[in-house]
Every structure is written in C-alpha cells, then in structure tokens.
C-alpha cells in the first residue's frame, strides 16, 4: 500500500493506558479528525475552557481506571451555558470514582457512529477493525477485521461488508454519509498500527461520528494502551 504523505510517530510516545486526550493526540498526529478539547482541574478552568471552545460542550470525567465512562455517568452531553456546565461538573465530582479532572470538549454532530480499532496480534502483526460503533458495539458485533496497512480500496471493501452499509448510503430520506472520510481515517489508522508495531496493545476510536457526504468525520472518544 502507498503511505499517505506526512505520517510519522511523535518522538515521545506515552506508555501504558493512555487518557482519552493522549489517545486522541496520537491519532490526530496521523491526520484523523478529533474533537477540540481541554483538560480542566477545577470548575473555573472548566468554564474558561468551555468559553474558549464555544457552547454547547461535553463534559467528561477523566480517570485511567474507567473503561466505560457513560456507564458511570461520567459523560454529560449538550451543555448549553456556564450554569449547565457548573451543575454537570458538580455531578461528576459526586461520582463514585476518584477523577484526575475533567475534559471539556466540543459537542460534535454526526449521522452514524462507527468504531475504528487497531491492535498488534502477537505472531501475526498489526490489524485494524471497523464496525457499527457506540455503546452497543459488543452486542451488535457488526465488525470487519483486516491486516494493516490498508489500501483505500481495502478499507472501502470492509465498510461495504458491514450490516450498517445501507445506512451509510442513505436510507429513508436520510443523506448519504461521508464514506470516503471513513475510508481515509481507516487507512491512516492502519498506518499508525503498522508504525507502532508490537508497542500497540490496543487502540479504539468509539465512536467516530460520520456526517453527510463532504462533511467528514470526527472521533469523539479514544482509548489506547501502548507497551
């Protein structure tokens, strides 16, 4: 496969379980669009961050120990103003897990949620996956797996094999979605997986929101573990 221009690993790679912010920085270095966001240690910092990003915002509790933030009430969507933000901040701090702080991020829109994943299989090498994303991933199991790196035509073929494919093409008067943006993100993730090699334990973008054709995609959540 031909490598897209300008892809290179950052000089200092974090190790172990990465925070959402660290994982997004890594995929953003490979040209995958991610939410604008800022870490905040206090309520005042969170309000300042939201004003810089622009309302509405999303507030998430940051803890490396948590796998599914929404299960613990650590994701607060669509906060419209400083008052709503302060209330959400207080609610997060009352959660039964110790938080390192909060992440304030732009509220993104999309027509469908995909999961993009990558891992190094010992003895087999780097793999990527794409599937129907969101909180029902494990239940729906609509995923396609392939060795990395991918050519764009390989990525397109994986998307076509998903049960979600007719939705991506537009059904019931809904617009056709930006399949080419998903292809581009999957190819770029596959090069990241190839470049990380055995250091990549696992990486998931779940979900990456796909918009109407021509409007792109954006990863709103990211998790990664590096050796």
Residues 117, 121, 124: CA angle, nearest 5 degrees: 125
Non-local CB neighbours of 139 within 8 Å, separated by 6+ positions: none
111 forms part of the interface with ligand ADP (CB under 6 A):
no
Question: What is the x/- site pattern for Mg ion, positions 159-198, by CB under 5 A?
Answer: ----------------------------------------
Task: State the minimum distance, in angstroms, from the CB of residue 123 to ligand ADP.
Answer: 30
Q: Report d(CA 188, CA 127) in Å as an integer.
A: 13
Instruction: Give 142 or 221: the residue with its C-beta nearer to ligand ADP.
Output: 221
Instruction: Give 154 or 204: the residue with its C-beta nearer to ligand ADP.
Output: 204
By CB under 6 A, which span of 40-48, 62-70, 147-155, 187-195 interacts with ligand ADP?
Answer: 62-70
206 forms part of the interface with Mg ion (CB under 5 A):
yes
SS3 per residue for 95-144: CCCCCCEEEEEECCCCCEEEEEEEEEECCCEEEEEEEECCCCHHHHCCEE
Task: State the minimum distance, in angstroms, from the CB of residue 45 to Mg ion.
Answer: 24
Q: Which residue has the tokens 């509405």?
A: 56
Near Mg ion by CB under 5 A: residue from 106, 111, 178, 221: 221
208 forms part of the interface with ligand ADP (CB under 6 A):
no
Instruction: Give 148 or 210: the residue with its C-beta nearer to ligand ADP.
Output: 210
Query: 16: burial class by Cβ within 10 Å (0-12, 13-18, 19+)?
Result: exposed
Task: Say how many CA atoms lie within 13 Å of 24 toward its Cβ.
Answer: 20
Task: State the minimum distance, in angstroms, from the CB of residue 113 to ligand ADP.
Answer: 6
Residues 66, 70, 73: CA angle, nearest 5 degrees: 95
Using alpha carbons, list the distances in angstroms from residue 198 to 44, 58, 126. 41, 34, 8
19 forms part of the interface with ligand ADP (CB under 6 A):
no
58 forms part of the interface with ligand ADP (CB under 6 A):
yes
Binding site for ligand ADP (CB under 6 A): 35, 58, 60, 68-70, 75, 77, 105, 107-108, 113, 134-135, 207, 220-221
């Amino acid at each position: 496969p031909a490598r897209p221009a300008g892809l290179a690993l950052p000089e200092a790679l974090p190790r172990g379980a990465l925070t959402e912010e660290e994982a997004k920085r890594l995929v953003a270095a490979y040209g995958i669009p991610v939410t604008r966001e800022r870490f905040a240690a206090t309520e005042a910092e969170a309000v300042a961050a939201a004003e810089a990003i622009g309302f509405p915002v999303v507030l998430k509790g940051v803890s490396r120990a948590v796998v599914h933030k929404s299960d613990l009430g650590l994701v607060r969507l669509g906060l419209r103003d400083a008052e709503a933000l302060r209330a959400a901040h207080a609610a997060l701090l009352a959660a039964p897990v110790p938080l390192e702080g909060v992440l304030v991020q732009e509220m993104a829109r999309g027509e469908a949620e995909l999961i993009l994943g990558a891992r190094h299989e010992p003895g087999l090498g780097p793999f990527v996956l794409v599937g129907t994303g969101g909180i029902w991933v494990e239940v729906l199991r609509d995923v396609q797996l392939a060795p990395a790196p991918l050519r764009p035509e390989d990525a397109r073929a994986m998307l076509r094999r998903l049960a979600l494919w007719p939705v991506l093409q537009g059904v019931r008067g809904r617009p056709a979605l930006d399949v080419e943006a998903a292809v581009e993100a999957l190819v770029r993730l596959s090069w990241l997986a190839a470049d990380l090699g055995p250091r990549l334990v696992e990486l998931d973008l779940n979900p990456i929101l796909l918009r109407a054709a021509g409007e792109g995609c954006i990863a709103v959540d990211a998790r990664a573990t590096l050796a």
